[in-house]
Amino acid sequence: MSGQRLGIMGGTFDPIHLGHLVTAEQARADLGLDEVVFLPAGQPWQKDDDTTSAEHRYLMTVLATAANPAFSVSRVEVDRDGPTYTVQTLRELRAQLPDGELYFITGADAILNILTWKDADECLELATFVAATRPGYDLARLEAEGIRAEVCVLDVPALAISSTDVRERFAAGRAVRYLIPREVEEFARKHGLYGTDGNGLALGGVV
Ligand code: ATP
Ligand code: MG
């Protein structure tokens, strides 16, 4: 579709949580986006090797976004061999939508990483970068790097949720309800993704 305004929400999504979903929805509303496509990363090269399989992370992302007509999930990074490079994905999306506007949505913490890559200039030409502020994050850090002028800053309601905390809660047998969608919680338990069995009991527990 020509002239489409497409939001791109990249992430490891291990697992996807309400912080991701609120941020994507806020970007859609504030920037008047037609669609937000979630892009679960393939084999993450900046993260530990114990990252959940791309297929499981992809399926959790589908479960979490299925009910929103403006949300979709792309398999491009999941299906690509080798490490994930945002610039490559942006080039592909740009080729598919030559007349469209691309908005790459990230947390303010992640944007610093991305914009210090060697391909940062090309990334900034291909898409407008949208930095969602996250609780505890100091935007002065972006300014100090001279980055703020080149990105669009999006204020999202304070949601101090992270996938790291959700994984730790699963492993410790603590509640994750209301931090991640119910469907994602049930899927993670069914497949024992985060050290829990099908009953939600920590592995090595009483059963
Ligand atoms: P981890 O703790 O494993 O790093 P994460 O919660 O940061 O996970 P990612 O998949 O790494 O999740 O993040 C994907 C994108 O979503 C990144 O751009 C990140 O900055 C952003 N993000 C993550 N959590 C939030 C949140 N609570 N509010 C706004 N943006 C968020
Ligand atoms: Mg992160």
**Digitized pLDDT (tens) for each residue of the chain, 207 residues in all:** 558 999 999 999 999 999 999 999 999 999 999 999 999 998 755 555 678 999 999 999 999 999 999 999 999 999 987 777 889 999 999 999 999 999 999 888 787 777 777 788 899 899 999 988 765 666 677 777 766 656 788 888 878 899 999 999 999 999 999 999 999 999 999 999 998 544 545 454 443
CA dist., res. 56 & res. 50, Å (int):
13
| C-alpha distances out from residue 173 to 28, 89, 140, Å | 34, 37, 37
Which residue's C-alpha comes closest to atom 22 of ligand 1? 107
106 lines ligand 1 (CB under 6 A): yes
CB 156 within 8 A of CB 26: yes
Give the burial class of 164: count Cβ atoms within 10 A of its Cβ; 0-12 exposed, 13-18 middle, 19 or more buried: exposed
Q: Is the CB of 40 under 6 A from ligand 1?
A: no
Alpha carbon distance 136, 189 (integer Å) = 30
State if residue 156 touches ligand 1 by the CB under 6 angstroms criterion: yes
Instruction: Return the residue whose CA atom lies nearest to atom 14 of ligand 1.
Output: 11
What does the chain come to in residues? Answer: 207
Would the CB of 132 count as within 6 Å of ligand 1? yes
Distance from C-alpha of 116 to C-alpha of 113, rounded to nearest angstrom: 6
Distance 3 CA to ligand 2 centre (A): 31
CA 72 to CA 204: how far, in whole Å?
A: 37
Question: Contact at 8 Å (CB) between 161 and 17?
Answer: yes
Taking Cα atoms as reference points, which of 15, 81, 92 lies closest to residue 43? 81
Q: State the first-to-last Cα distance of the chain, in angstroms, to the nearest integer.
A: 54
- Predicted TM-score (pTM) of the model is 0.89
- Residue 203 Cα to ligand 1 midpoint, Å, equals 26
Q: Give the CA distances from residue 11 to residues 2, 3, 14, 57, 197, in Å, rounded to whole numbers and listed in that order.
A: 26, 25, 8, 10, 25
Would you say 47 and 12 are in contact if contact means Cβ atoms under 8 Å apart? yes
> Which-ligand-closest: CA of 39?
1
